[in-house]
Structure 1
Amino acid sequence: MKSYSWILPLTAFIQATNAWSPSDSYAPTEVSCERNGTLTRNATGISNDEQAWLEKRDAITENAMKTFLTRATANFSDTSFLDSLFENSSYVPRVGIAASGGGYRAMLSGAGMLAAFDNRTRGANENGLGGLLQATTYLSGLSGGNWLVGTLAWNNWTSIQDIIDGFDDSNTTSIWDISNSIISPGGENDTYTTERFALIKEQINTKYEAGYNISLVDVWGRALSYYFFPDLKNAGDALTWSSLRDFDVFQSASMPLPIVVADNKYPDDTQITLNTTVFEFNPFEMGSWDPSLHSFTDVKYLGTNVSNGIPTDEGKCVVGFDNTGFFLGASSDIFYGALLEGYSTYINVIEKEFLTANQSVNTEFAIFSPNPFKDTKYYDSSVTSSNSDSDSLLLVDGGSDGQDIPFIPLLQEERAVDAIFAFDNGDDTTENWPNGTALINTYQRQFMPQGKNMAFPYIPDATTFVEQGLNQKPTFFGCDSSNLTSLSYIPPLIVYIPNAEYSYASNTSTFTLSYSLQERLDMVQNGFEAATRKNLTEDSDFLSCVSCAVIRRKQEKLNITLPSECERCFQNYCYGYKSVNVSASSTNTSSPSTQGSKTNYTVSSAKADASSSAFNTVSTTTTASAKANAAISLSSNGILSYLSALLCIFGMF
């Protein structure tokens, strides 16, 4: 394993950079802030802070991209196009990665996929897409994918390889030690479990005693943090989201910009649809590009009472509200889904155990109160004014609207992303495999009021998706920009990477709450293989084809001659691709062809040398549904199991 001198022990790092909340607890606290300053802005572009950070990141990704593309195209008959791409820094392709939701399944499988992109992973350069992560600008996640992004970023940009190397059943402070369920962290040791939840209750009560609303999401976020930040004091109860700005690895732009997604819940809504407001959290800001808000606020000062961005108590702001665990919980909030499924009795009992008698309103949501966007004026009133009028802002799981892959932040034209790698670890089919529903929903959203300023390439319906096997191997969408000119702008090319069985049955339930060490290794291994077409053995040209996808938008824009190898790659991997010899205005009806043979291969692991079996064709017998405007849909049996077990801990059921 390579050694990286800039990766400091996280505990020492946080102490050195004052990354803790000033209260040194979960409670927000008041501080002095700039008088007459505004905390909100119109979402007319990226923030000044993000722009300044991008200038540093672009300089790093330019060199990393050149290294990656040089390696990936080494066997091309003509690589002169690289000279054209790198003769001007503005020509360098910009990449984003989006990690879907799906509980621990999404976290672990997504980890394997991301490891395939990371040159810090053993074998990633030889058998994967190593170096592409180092050339990536944005990394977004929601729900389980958010756990992946948050774990890596707020552990000082650790690597999947380092996490795997730390797996040890005898070490209860290793990251992602999920051998015991989150609802029974002590396993058979009931005393340990009771003490853990008593401590969590004590932690969140400090927030309530400081005058802020708490909910079950505070409990959820605190419980999760013990698995993501086990080395920190009280599992990072004072670790803030904005603190990442102080990390050397982020200040130097040596990592991608992390972004997580949550959905808005209007007070009077009974369903969450594609027209809900999609919020993003990045290290600088929280807000939404959607016309229903079209505003951002400084994430550091959440909890401040404001009117149109101005603190109502002049010169005084709140810090520490942006707890990292709370944000990770907000993006993966399951409690509203449980309420919709009819488990209000269970919810009520859990509320009585963890919350005070005076805290009984909206407890199934992540509560942002006071509302950081109170009285803002940047929204389109023809869509809604709720986000500005309400005293509290309520957020739920980022996949509640059916967009289980966090595309929205990466689709913004202002961010100029050329290619998005989409990790789909959803459970759309009855066998818990993806069927493209997340892509379909994002495609459909652009034709709704909230999506009028976004663009996304055409996606076939779920039935076609499954019938053509698009959910079993990587596929490129939107390869021809000439076919996308009727959209608001030319969107990024989408490289879709679905969860599929290669060496392990990775279609575990979203409500599987514990994984043994070997199961974790197997899930990560299989994710690596899903992202690399089984370590490049099913198609030895896949690395080269990925490079063609990365350069495609810039190649089209600059009118660079298409390498012949890329032409073959697009014919193999692009959905609906037409040969360069065919008119670009032709209707897209073709489908990707099947490549390669199925063989065995394994990637090196420090803890286990798991044997891989031949790739088994994924069963896809399912009733496909686009679910364009569906409300939250969660597994009733999974919800019941989760809530029943949680109640049992306290002898209440």
Structure 2
Amino acid sequence: MVSSLFSSLLLFTVGVLSGYAPVPAICPNGSLVRPASGLSDKEETYRVARKAVADVNLKAWLTKTNPGFGTDDLPTVALTSSGGGFRALLLGAGVIQGLDGRDSDVSTSGLFQGLTYQAGLSGGAWLLSSFAGNNYPTISDLRDNLWGQAFQDSLLDPEVLLAAEAYIKVVDDILLKDAAGFHTTLTDPWGRLLSYELLEGKDGGVHTTLSSITKLSNFTSHAAPFPVITSLGVKTWLGECLPGPNATTYEFSPYEFGSWDSDVSAFMKTKYLGTSMKHGKPVTTVCTEKYDNLGYILGTSSTLFNELCLSLPPPANSSTSLDNILEEIINHAHEVTTSDEYATYRNPFYEYVSSTATPNVANNVTAQKSLSLVDGGEALQNNPIFPFLQPARNISVIIVNDNSADTSNNFPNGSEILTTYVQSFNHNLTRMPFIPSVETFVSEGLNQRATFFGCNDTSKVTIVYIPNFNFTFASNVPTAQLAYPKNETAAMIANGVEMASQGGNECWGTCLGCALMMKTGQALPDECTSCFENYCYYGS
């Protein structure tokens, strides 16, 4: 008992010294883990409250856009931001700006205030983390007061990093987390360096955790969509380096971490990630807090270091020199091994049998003491759509902003959303609408303009697909570009605004409203007929 108290005191002291290292905490009353039988009470409470706020704003936007819309019954709308490094972050930010009534004056301005959910993956997770973690400022504010200078003088440039004070602080953070008994990996310094560019506050927002977002004013007032970040699990115990096509999709939200997938089908309270768990209960009376450092979460959603185990060229989001520096940082704590190529989490579901899981005869995820997570887009699903196909969230329309680099010239070609459609069958997600082949996608130009999928099928969600297109700027910037001059940051965001408004098309606002409302049974403007002809994909 004395030894346990001493250890907890030591870990607490280490955590306070670091700001990054996890710290011991008193375990809360009640269970930390639950089966995935629906939404948590807290998310459901937020969802209901946010939907009420969103409905008021969505009605106002629809009425402003076209008075022909009936607005008695309104859909639940979500936005997804794809991966693609800083290209995806900046273009996705422009899309948000083009939807945000506080920050733009285009046909789509005000629709963001009508969203109930928002998800991000990899570069899209950087965007969502910076947006939510800084209490939902405008994109203009982030551009002018944080991103502009930070992206220009990027710490991901080895020459800048080695000369920066932040380098020593990141090394200290890793040493102290390791000393606290938590194995550090390449994702730790990766996430810490990204935080200096994405999060406000001392030492790159080192004290910001994902669960701390619940205390921010725009969250407590339900003024923002509920945020979800995704990542994929790798079955390293089978010798796999990469997530397979049926890899477990994990969700991080301010309230919970877990998966709806049948091999886990359970969720853990985000605030207590890092706690040693067995059978759904803490192993000791001491839990862990601060493992959910937001930098570590956004780093988890974008970590590609596992690709090194295949002896492939370096991951697209980092140079060899940066890889070497990150390895040197980890080497201060311990010798780097292949396990350090993943974001590592103590498995909250270790030997936990969820009442909603499908029993596996062998190699069950729940038999592992730790989870190895990687970039959410590695299995060719670069758009975080799966969370919004879950029936419990009751989402009717998903706006999918795809900034993937599928082609040799770094534009999307539909392959990512097609993979999501194909894999939805293997995950028992029945609400994904039909998506055509890549050949059809490209030949019909669906990768260069907005498209509505799921038209007229009330059993499916409606997807409003908005791909990267170079309206005003050469927006096909390589994913490997890690530094942006201020003028290029501004130009990329401005191009994203054009993507949201479809190049300022005067009919687009009404057509987007038609897509949102087509399955509600409400009155539609006469213009919707031509909108559906122009934007709906009816092939099957």
TM-score, scaled to structure 1? 0.76
Which residue does 2:232 correspond to in 1? 263
Aligned pairs (5 A) from 1:580-619: 588=539
Check the 8 A contact 1:122/1:161 in 2, yes or no: no
Name the counterpart of 1:54: 47
Q: RMSD across aligned C-alpha pairs, in angstroms?
A: 2.1
Verify: 1:33 aligned to 2:15, yes or no. no
1:177 and 2:150 matched: yes
Structure 2: distance between partners of 1:407 and 1:292: 19
* Offset, 1:162: 1.4
SS at match of 1:447: helix
CA distance in 1, matches of 2:336, 2:308: 19
Q: Trace 1:356-371 onto structure 2 (pairs within 5 A).
A: 356-357=333-334, 360=337, 362-369=339-346, 371=347
Deviations 1:98-126 (A, max 9, x none): 00000000000111111110001132xxx
SS in 1 for 2:166: helix
Structure 1 position 290 matched with structure 2 position 261: yes
With 453-462 and 59-68 compared, the bigger mean Cα shift is at: 453-462
3-state DSSP of counterpart to 1:546: helix
Sort the Cα spacing of 1:59 and 1:442 in 2 relative to 1 into closer, same or farther, 3 A.
same
C-alpha displacement of 1:164: 2.9
The Cα of 1:273 is off from its aligned counterpart by: 2.2
| Corresponding position of 1:473 | 449
- Native 8 Å contact 1:23 1:238 kept in 2: no
Change (3 A) 1:372 1:273: same
2:317 is aligned to none
Query: Secondary structure of the equivalent of 1:262?
Result: strand
What's 1:547 paired with? 513
Tell me the secondary structure at the aligned position of residue 455 of structure 2.
coil
The within-5 A match list for 1:403-418 is 403-418=381-396
Separation in structure 2 between the aligned mates of residue 474 and residue 453 of structure 1, nearest angstrom = 24
Q: Give the structure with higher Rg (CA).
A: 1
CA distance in 2, matches of 1:191, 1:291: 45
Q: Does 1:45 align with 2:5?
A: no
Distance 1:456 1:332, change over 3 A: same
Contact persistence 1:548–1:569 (CA under 8 A)? yes
* Deviation of the 1:23 alpha carbon: 6.6
Equivalent residue for 1:649? none
Is residue 150 of structure 1 aligned with residue 129 of structure 2?
Answer: yes
Q: C-alpha distance in 2, partners of 1:383/1:411?
A: 27
1:262 partner letter = S
Q: Could you tell me which of 565, 573, 595 is aligned with 2:527?
A: 565
Cα displacement string for residues 598-630 of structure 1 (whole angstroms, at most 9, x for unaligned residues): xxxxxxxxxxxxxxxxxxxxxxxxxxxxxxxxx
Q: Which amino acid aligns with 1:150?
A: S
Q: 1:391 aligns to what? A: 369
Residue from 217, 231, 241 that aligns with 1:248: 217
Cα–Cα, structure 1 residues 327 and 350, in superposed 2: closer, same or farther, change >3 Å? Answer: closer
Q: 1:221 to 1:353 in 2, by over 3 A?
A: closer
Equivalences for 1:124-523 in 2 at 5 Å?
127-166=106-145, 177-184=150-157, 187=160, 192-193=163-164, 195-229=165-199, 231-267=200-236, 268=238, 269-314=240-285, 316-342=286-312, 350-355=326-331, 356-357=333-334, 360=337, 362-369=339-346, 371-378=347-354, 379-382=357-360, 385-448=363-426, 451-481=427-457, 490-523=459-492
Query: Which one-letter code corresponds to 1:441 in the other structure?
Result: T
Relative to 1, partners in 2 of residues 1:61 and 1:43: Cα closer, same or farther, differing over 3 Å? same
C-alpha separation in 1, matches of 2:478 and 2:155: 15
Whether the 8 Å contact between 1:94 and 1:418 is mirrored in structure 2 is: yes
- Residues 191 and 312 from structure 1, CA distance in 2 versus in 1: closer, same or farther, beyond 3 angstroms? closer
1:109 to 82, 91, 112: 91
What CA distance in whole angstroms lies between the structure 2 residues aligned with 1:447 and 1:34?
38
Residue 275 of structure 1 aligns with an amino acid whose one-letter code is N
Does the 8 Å CA contact 1:412/1:454 hold for their aligned counterparts?
A: no
- Shift of the alpha carbon at 1:340? 2.6
5+ residue gaps, structure 2: 1-14, 315-319
Q: 1:108 to 1:50 in 2, by over 3 A?
A: same
For the residues of structure 2 that align with 1:527 and 1:471, how far apart are their CA atoms?
A: 15
- For 2:262 and 2:430, the matched residues in 1 are separated by 11
Is this contact kept in 2: 1:175–1:227, CA < 8 A?
A: no
* 1:65–1:132 CA contact under 8 A, matched in 2: yes
